[in-house]
Amino acid sequence: MSIKTYHAVTPEEAVKVIKSGDHVHLSSVASVPQCLVHAMCARGDAGELHDVHIHHLHTEGPAPYTDTKYEGVFQHDAFFVGSNVRPAVQSGFADYIPIFLSETQRLYRDGYIKCNVAMIQVCPPDEHGFVSLGTSVDATLAAVETADYVIAVVNKNVPRAFGQAMISMSLIDIFVEDDTPLVKSHFSIPNEIETAIGMHCAELIEDGACLQMGIGSIPNAVLAQLGNHKNLGIHTEMFADGVLPLVEQGVINGANKGVDKGKMVSTFLMGSQEVYDFIHNNPQVLMMDVGYTNDPFIISQNPKTTAINSALQVDLTGQVCADSLGTKFFSGVGGQIDFVYGASRSKGGKAIIAMPSVTNKGVSKIAPTLAAGAGVVTTRNHIHWFVTEYGAVNLYGKTLQERAKLVISVAHPDHRESLEKAAFERFGSHFRFVTKY
């Protein structure tokens, strides 16, 4: 059977379907269709558009639509804020919609946001007329299903990933061709502090556990400690290079998973070319809709689900800021609470919040109370395990005063006295009689 064909147009021709007032969705992370973005912005430069709303999750690469010159032309209303758009959000020229990652797809499917145009990237079609969304399924599948127009960039560099990433060409209205490589990300080698955090987290991970963790030095530090584990699984919103050696060693095989046994499940990816090559034509990997990967009920069906997430600041009662700290670091709620909630309900599961005890400037990230304007992502009601380079403590089922003692016990030694003084002032003289750390 011959490969199904399509008629491709130029990016400039494709974006003519965008109208003033439209809502446009971009595929995320490594798979932003930059040729369409630049063509859309060119229409803005020509004065052809106004009040166009741009939606996406985390994106890598340029985001020219957030430039101040496009005020009144493009309104950035993202579901997650990456470093490329954070300055625009902080300055007020762009904005974001606070929402659990698991529910981003509902914004389209349940009609809270109308998707007029979905701009995506796909792999070349196979002989059956199917293409793959590759590294970006997340809320993009919901956008494709509900959009008035779907513009797809056919790119040979998009991996042919399985699961819900596979869609029929019939869902696509306009095709464009562009072979720009996907954005790649390379993460630094964990430093001494991150390695210590990784070791403490790894000690909590049991054989047969199903892992969720993000990207960066701490997840890599955790993964580097798991070489002697057995029968680990992956059900996560994303993974990066750190899992590949464990797959090659047979440590990650999904044998103990309760759902999608033997499969690695993710909703988007960001990493090196090795990661993109790994998922290409690999039936071991399922790229799924974010409503599936981040559904707390589905997460909980895998035994020993262990979710490891980061934070910007934690207070003495266990409130976790992972969204914004004052006017800085706007990012979004993301999937942290989806997995905290799911892991805590998994049989033998563990929900872990991990972070260095201090900032790069030596300021304690453990605070008496969260900074003014800080966004609470994981509440004191949800937190279980808390890990720094000084150890791991379980706050679940503990009183406020017991929590304060435990949190202070893993603070940087230089800050413990001041934190204990703050706790004494907050809880009163009885605090001194709570079991010492």
What per-residue confidence (pLDDT) applies to 329?
62
Domain residues for 173?
Answer: 8-177
Instruction: State what percent of residues in the chain have pLDDT above 90.
Output: 87
Distances (CA, A) of 49 to 53, 137, 196, 327, 418: 11, 28, 52, 31, 55
**Burial status of residue 177 (CB atoms within 10 A of its CB: 0-12, 13-18, 19 or more):** middle
The DSSP 8-state label assigned to residue 61 in this structure reads S
User: Do 206 and 172 share a structural domain?
Assistant: no
Q: Sign of torsion, CA 186 290 201 314?
A: positive
pLDDT at 306 > cutoff 50:
yes
pLDDT at 435 > cutoff 50:
no
Of 126, 147, 177, which marks where a domain is finished? 177
What CATH number should be reported for the domain holding residue 22? Answer: 3.40.1080.10
Structure confidence by residue, pLDDT tens digits, 107-140:
999 999 999 999 999 999 999 999 999 999 999 9
How many whole angstroms separate alpha carbon 100 and alpha carbon 212? 16
Q: Which residue has the tokens 């009183």?
A: 399
User: Do 165 and 235 share a structural domain?
Assistant: no
How many whole angstroms separate alpha carbon 226 and alpha carbon 42? 49
Which tokens hold the place of 37? Answer: 């973005």
pTM summary value: 0.94
What per-residue confidence (pLDDT) applies to 393?
98
Yes or no: say if 359 and 325 are a contact pair by the CB < 8 Å rule.
no
In a domain, 3, yes or no: no
Yes or no: say if 137 and 118 are a contact pair by the CB < 8 Å rule.
no
What per-residue confidence (pLDDT) applies to 345?
97
Which tokens hold the place of 63? Answer: 């985001």
How many whole angstroms separate alpha carbon 20 and alpha carbon 281? 39
pLDDT at 431 > cutoff 80:
no
How many whole angstroms separate alpha carbon 135 and alpha carbon 109? 21
Beta strand spans in 249-382 (E):
264-266, 285-287, 305-310, 313-315, 320-321, 350-354, 366-367, 376-378
How many whole angstroms separate alpha carbon 414 and alpha carbon 153? 54
User: Do 170 and 215 share a structural domain?
Assistant: no
User: Do 426 and 363 share a structural domain?
Assistant: yes
Of 144, 177, 210, which marks where a domain is finished? 177
User: Do 172 and 127 share a structural domain?
Assistant: yes
What per-residue confidence (pLDDT) applies to 188?
76
In a domain, 288, yes or no: yes
User: Active site residue: 60, 103, 194, 237, which one?
Assistant: 237
What per-residue confidence (pLDDT) applies to 331?
79
User: Do 241 and 95 share a structural domain?
Assistant: no
* 432 — pLDDT class (breaks 50, 70, 90): low
Among 52, 98, 94, 59, which residue's Cα sits nearest to residue 79?
A: 98
Among 315, 367, 307, which residue's Cα sits nearest to residue 337?
A: 307
User: Do 223 and 138 share a structural domain?
Assistant: no
Structure confidence by residue, pLDDT tens digits, 59-101:
999 999 999 999 999 999 999 998 899 999 988 999 999 999 9
Structure confidence by residue, pLDDT tens digits, 58-70:
999 999 999 999 9
In a domain, 2, yes or no: no
Structure confidence by residue, pLDDT tens digits, 245-294:
999 999 999 999 999 999 999 999 999 999 999 999 999 999 999 999 99
Of 177, 207, 233, which marks where a domain is finished? 177
Yes or no: say if 269 and 248 are a contact pair by the CB < 8 Å rule.
no
User: Do 198 and 347 share a structural domain?
Assistant: yes
* 323 — pLDDT class (breaks 50, 70, 90): confident
In a domain, 25, yes or no: yes
Rg (CA), the chain: 22
What per-residue confidence (pLDDT) applies to 220?
87
Number of separate domains in the chain: 2
Structure confidence by residue, pLDDT tens digits, 342-394:
999 999 999 999 999 999 999 999 999 999 888 899 999 999 999 999 999 99
How many whole angstroms separate alpha carbon 417 and alpha carbon 264? 45
Q: What is the mean pLDDT of the segment spanning 9-21?
A: 98
Which tokens hold the place of 39? Answer: 């063509």
User: Do 276 and 363 share a structural domain?
Assistant: yes
How many whole angstroms separate alpha carbon 306 and alpha carbon 309? 10
User: Do 257 and 348 share a structural domain?
Assistant: yes
**Burial status of residue 430 (CB atoms within 10 A of its CB: 0-12, 13-18, 19 or more):** exposed
User: Do 353 and 254 share a structural domain?
Assistant: yes
How many whole angstroms separate alpha carbon 295 and alpha carbon 339? 8
Q: Which residue has the tokens 């990207």?
A: 215
What per-residue confidence (pLDDT) applies to 83?
87
Active-site annotation holds for 237: yes
User: Do 351 and 270 share a structural domain?
Assistant: yes
What per-residue confidence (pLDDT) applies to 1?
44
Q: What is the mean pLDDT of the segment spanning 17-45?
A: 97
Distances (CA, A) of 22 to 79, 108, 216, 346: 17, 14, 35, 41
Structure confidence by residue, pLDDT tens digits, 199-235:
999 999 999 999 998 777 888 899 999 999 999 999 9
How much is the mean pLDDT over the chain?
A: 94
What CATH number should be reported for the domain holding residue 365? Answer: 3.40.1080.20
pLDDT at 436 > cutoff 70:
no
How many whole angstroms separate alpha carbon 174 and alpha carbon 369? 52
